[in-house]
Chains A and B, each alone.
Chain A
Amino acid sequence: MFAFARLLFVGFIVLTVIYVCLSFYSRAVRRGKLRAQWHEGPQDTDKETFVDEGLADYDSSLKRKLILGVYVVPLVTMGIIVYLTNHS
């Protein structure tokens, strides 16, 4: 069981690093897009509020949650490999 625990622990750390980096990167990209949108758009509100509102929408969006796939995809892959190797 020790080897399994070690794999989960190390995997969790590595994936967390990837997850955090990807989150920040994705948020920065979104911020840039919102700014560009503001410059093109009607500019009813000032830029800061527009970007903040856009980011708040982004935080509750499905796209934001898709980054959790960083954890899900390797775990599912591992499950599939375990099944294929040992049960078929």
Chain B
Amino acid sequence: MFSIFKWTFWITVWVLIAGFFHYTLPQRDIVRIVNTYEERQDLEGWTRIFWSDAADQVSSPVNRDVQFIQAVRPDGAAMVYRNEDTGWGWPPYFKLDTANLYTEANDAKSTKAAPEWYLIKHYGWRNVYWSIFPNAVSIKPIEGPNVSKGLPWLNIFIITIFLTVVYGIWIRWRRFRIARIDPTFEALEDDIAERSAGVSRWLGTWRKK
């Protein structure tokens, strides 16, 4: 019974960590940019966390205009990115050139007949039910839709460092537990076992022989 709780707990923790990294670390998509638009967005409710914190705004507005970049993947699937400053907040992309990126995206539009392909770096998730969009960070022209996206070196580096730190903490905690906590609990258990044996002996004296 206890092990079910234990497993549920640790699986939840690791799923949350994996989700955090999947959301925050950069990803690359190969797309054809179709159009851009601006739309007023209500920034309320729990999905507020999926929009940027408006940079340097003293009051947090309830709604504001957000820029979007509409794109199509090589397989024809639609993809929409938002284009927002991350400013000096989280995640630490320090993106301050939203207006420039919007201009580049507008310059990069192409039609289905004469497609121009772009590698778009972004972070975040697209979810149609929650109406959330990944944030585009940069775009770069590429030869065609079949060009390799390259190995995500930065992501490998960050995740390796993170796992190393977790392993370091875990191994130290384990040593500490074996050296200090386990003996204490064992002594406690022995003590309890002795006492309960004493109690049952005493109860035994009341039983009919």
Contact = CB atoms under 8 A, between A and B. Distances in A.
B88 A85 contact: no
Q: Give me the 3 closest cross-chain CB pairs, A-B, nearest first.
A: A7-B88, A3-B88, A86-B97
A4 B92 contact: no
A86 B94 contact: yes
Given A85-B138, A86-B97, 7 more contacts: A3-B89, A7-B88, A81-B94, A85-B93, A86-B94, A86-B95, A88-B138
Interface of B: 53, 55-56, 58, 87-89, 92-97, 100, 137-138
Contacts of A7: 88-89
Interface string A1-30: 111101100000000000000000000000
A88 B58 CA distance: 30
A82 to B, nearest CB: 5
Contacts of A6: 88
Interface of A: 1-4, 6-7, 78, 81-82, 85-86, 88
A69 B96 CA distance: 27
A82 B89 CA distance: 12
A7 B100 CA distance: 24
A33 to B, nearest CB: 21
Of residues B56, B87, B88, B137, which shows the largest number of chain A Cβ atoms within 10 Å of its Cβ?
B88
A57 to B, nearest CB: 31
Contacts of B138: 85, 88
